[in-house]
Amino acid sequence: MKNHPHDAQPSDPELLPADSIEVRHSKDSSSLHALAAIPAGANILQLEGDVSATRTRHSVQIGEGLYIDAPAREGARELARELAHEIAHELAHKTPFTSYRFRALNHACDPNARFVGRVLQARRDIAVGQEIFFDYTTTELSMVHPFRCTCAAANCIGMVQGFAYLSTTQQRERSSDLQPHLLRLISLQP
Ligand SMILES: [Zn+2]
């Protein structure tokens, strides 16, 4: 079937099989890793959950003042995981969950993936075992939990606080990876 000309963002893109990636938990954090070789341009996962005006540590901004995150019950589940890591690790292995895995995505300033609409897409080839990252400043205008980045990329921005805190040069360098609600801001610049 041909794509409808108005479907800039197909609602049901072809995603990699769910077992191509996995969430790994460490003491203080989670991360998302490739379990198969992922070619550049592949659609890794799709954002899902509840859309609201509330920012959380794990939400992803998908529009002006709009954020997507797992339903609150999943947040509670995550807290339980963090508080009882040992048990959580056990559970994770017994019942590997395939929902809301975007919440485990960490930031990098020269990442191997980016969001195109709600779909996480590989920016370059990703090898088996590699962690999958995206640049939080390509989705978030202003983050609820800023932090200092230690990604060691040549273009590392240091404090990650959101798109609004980047220099004009840094904002423009990201133009090909930006979500529409941020790209629009660049077009408003003199
Ligand atoms: Zn960095």
CA distance 81 to 22: 16
Which tens digit of pLDDT belongs to each residue from 24-49? 988 778 899 999 999 999 999 999 99
Quote the pLDDT of residue 110.
97
Quote the pLDDT of residue 12.
73
Q: What are phi and psi of 34, to 5 degrees?
A: -80, 130
Query: What is the CA(113)–ligand 1 centre distance, in A?
Result: 14
Query: What is the CA(158)–ligand 1 centre distance, in A?
Result: 6
Quote the pLDDT of residue 131.
98
Which is more confident, 155 or 188? 155
Quote the pLDDT of residue 186.
87
Quote the pLDDT of residue 3.
44
Query: What is the CA(159)–ligand 1 centre distance, in A?
Result: 8
Quote the pLDDT of residue 89.
57
Quote the pLDDT of residue 70.
87
Q: What are phi and psi of 85, to 5 degrees?
A: -60, -40
CA distance 137 to 122: 17
Which tens digit of pLDDT belongs to each residue from 148-182? 999 999 999 999 999 999 999 999 999 999 999 99
pLDDT at residue 5 above 60?
A: no
Query: What is the CA(5)–ligand 1 centre distance, in A?
Result: 37
Which tens digit of pLDDT belongs to each residue from 80-118? 666 666 566 555 554 445 678 999 999 999 999 999 999
Quote the pLDDT of residue 106.
96
Query: What is the CA(83)–ligand 1 centre distance, in A?
Result: 28
Domains of the chain: 20-188 (2.170.270.10)
CA distance 38 to 165: 32
Which tens digit of pLDDT belongs to each residue from 126-154? 999 999 999 999 999 999 999 999 999 99
Mean pLDDT value across the chain:
87
Quote the pLDDT of residue 121.
98
Q: Which residues contact 30 (CB under 8 A, 6 or more apart)?
A: 23, 24, 103, 104
Query: What is the CA(115)–ligand 1 centre distance, in A?
Result: 17
pLDDT at residue 7 above 70?
A: no
Query: What is the CA(87)–ligand 1 centre distance, in A?
Result: 32
> CA geometry: angle at 134 spanning 170 and 13, to 5°?
120
Query: What is the CA(149)–ligand 1 centre distance, in A?
Result: 5
Quote the pLDDT of residue 95.
44
Query: What is the CA(150)–ligand 1 centre distance, in A?
Result: 5
Query: What is the CA(153)–ligand 1 centre distance, in A?
Result: 6
Query: What is the CA(148)–ligand 1 centre distance, in A?
Result: 8
